[in-house]
Amino acid sequence: MRFLNRFAFTVLTAVACAVIAAAVHAAPQTSKPLEIYFVDVEGGQATLFVTPEGQSLLVDTGWPDFDGRDADRIVAAAKKAGLSKIDFVLITHYHRDHVGGVPQLAAKIPIGAFIDHGPNRESNDTDTEAGWQAYQKVLADQKIRRITVRVGDVLPVAGIRAEVVSADGVVLQKPLAGAGSQNSICATAEKKPADQTENARSLGIVITFGKARIVDLGDLTWDKEMEMDCPVNNLGHMDVFIVSHHGLFQSNSPALIAAISPRIAIMDNGATKGGSSSTLDIIKNSPKLEDLWQLHFSNEGGAAHNTAEAFIANPAGPDAGNYLKLTVWPDGDLIVFNPRTKTEKHYMPPSMR
């Protein structure tokens, strides 16, 4: 009888410990998470962050024209998030697939303020200059506040720390907290000529939310990535990499990927724009990467280079405009939801495994 009692006690203790461990793991979900919507704007960018405090930050606005398609998709995502306005719209740079949707978006939903890197530096390109001028007109006509930022600035978004790490051609030169080690990839990594377009001026940010770190560098180019992370890794490890430049080969250098060594990567490519085969391979081969998610199947990459279909919002074929949603908890828990498949995948932080 004494043996049975001891055995029962042992079993009950083990069960209790398991229940406590599960409760501890679930604890962050008693508070509010950071929610991120990756809106399908067909190879442009429109990424909506909604903080636990209810503040919103939209990174870029997609393309102009298309009967307001991109603005409509952004507004639909905002409504899903329970928003009636967007507090901050960050314009990474002035190419049409990033700033082009500003007039249509501003006509459909109130915007509190715009954030940018300063004036357009590619005035010799007609489309880029047109996007810049249209943006300036919205600012003037609607008297919307404009905030110009520099490297080291922290965005005024409640609930997250969003630090500027690149802007107007200047990149971070001092390591962020936890970074600063030598980047061994730099010595052998391919080097590319300096980019002369607005891409190299991209406004990039690192977002810290609890233990989770997320990096979005817009279309920052290969040369600027290496300037920032060679020979010293100034960014450090990231939980989430919002793939630069829609996954094009002009960005996403092995030196950057080695520096940030992300747990998951999410790529806002289109079917015919972005998702270069070489980039897909570089990211997928990152040693700590658990999964690569894509807004679209990349026609260039083909089945051999794209991620598995379960991790693609819009597979090959007619475009349905599906988004991806990332939920981030303060302990580093990540959940990616694919509305096409109506499934989600949970990524536990390393400390909880």
297: Cβ contacts below 8 Å, ≥ 6 apart: 271, 275, 306, 309, 312, 314, 315, 316
pLDDT on residue 26: 42
pLDDT 10s digits, 144-154 = 999 999 999 99
pLDDT band, residue 15 (cuts 50/70/90): very low
Which pTM was predicted?
Answer: 0.91
Residue 64: how many CB atoms within 10 A of its CB? 21
pLDDT 10s digits, 136-186 = 999 999 999 999 999 999 999 999 999 999 999 999 999 999 999 999 999
Full set of structural domains in the chain with CATH: 33-352 (3.60.15.10)
Region 322-341: mean pLDDT is: 97
Largest CA distance in the chain: 89
pLDDT band, residue 317 (cuts 50/70/90): confident
Torsion 173-174-176-178 (CA) sign? positive
pLDDT on residue 350: 81
Residues forming beta bridges with residue 167, ordered by sequence position? 170
pLDDT at 22 over 70: no
Of 3-12, 164-173, 244-253, 341-350, which gets the smallest average pLDDT? 3-12
Residue by residue, DSSP assigns 22-42 as HHHHHGGGGS--EEEEE---S
Give the dihedral of Cα atoms 214, 38, 204, 146; nearest 10 deg. -120
pLDDT on residue 112: 98
pLDDT on residue 13: 40
pLDDT at 319 over 90: no
Q: Is the peptide bond before 103 cis (omega within 30 degrees of 0)?
A: no
Share of the chain above pLDDT 90, in %: 88
pLDDT band, residue 9 (cuts 50/70/90): very low
pLDDT 10s digits, 23-59 = 334 444 548 999 999 999 999 999 999 999 999 999 9
Q: Which two tokens stand for residue 196?
A: 């002369």
Q: Which two tokens stand for residue 198?
A: 């607005």
336: left (phi over 0), alpha (psi -120 to 50) or beta: beta
Beta carbons of 210 and 216 less than 8 angstroms apart: no
Q: Which two tokens stand for residue 316?
A: 């090959």
Q: Are strands 264-267 and 291-296 parallel, antiparallel or unpaired?
A: parallel
Instruction: Give the H/E segment covering residue 20.
Output: helix 2-26
pLDDT on residue 42: 94
pLDDT on residue 351: 77
pLDDT at 107 over 80: yes
Region 116-145: mean pLDDT is: 98
Average pLDDT, the chain: 92
Exposed, middle or buried by CB within 10 Å (0-12, 13-18, 19+), for 127?
middle
94: Cβ contacts below 8 Å, ≥ 6 apart: 120, 122, 128, 131, 132, 135, 198
pLDDT on residue 5: 43
